[in-house]
Structure 1
Amino acid sequence: MKNVPLADVDHVDRAVLPIGTDYPPGHVLDWHEHRRAQFLYGATGVMVVDTGDGTWTVPPERAVLIPAATRHRVRMLGVSTRSLYIEPDAVPWWPGTCTVVDVPPLLRELLLTAVEFEADYSLSGRAGSVADLLLHEIAARAPLPFHVRIPAGADLAALCREYLAAPDSGVTNAVWAARTNMSERAFTRRFRAETGDSPAVWRGRARLLAAVPLLRSGSVSEVGGRLGYASPAAFTAAFTRTFGIPPSRFAQGHRGRPG
Structure 2
Amino acid sequence: MTTPDPADVTTLDTVLWVVLPYLFLTVFVLGHVWRYRYDKFGWTTRSSQLYERRLLRWASPLFHFGILAVFLGHVMGLGIPKAWTDAVGMSEQMYHAMAVGIGGVAGISTVTGLVLLIYRRRTVGPVFRATTRMDKVMYLVLAVVIALGMWNTIAGSMLNLGGEYDYREGVSVWFRGIFRFDLHPELMADAPIGFQLHGMAAMLLFALWPFTRLVHVFSVPLGYLWRPYVVYRARTPRVGQRGTRRGWEGVQRPPERVGPL
More strand by share: 1
Structure with larger Rg: 2
Higher RCO structure, 1 or 2 (CA under 8 Å, sep 6+): 2
Report the TM-score, using the length of structure 2 for normalisation: 0.28
More helix by share: 2
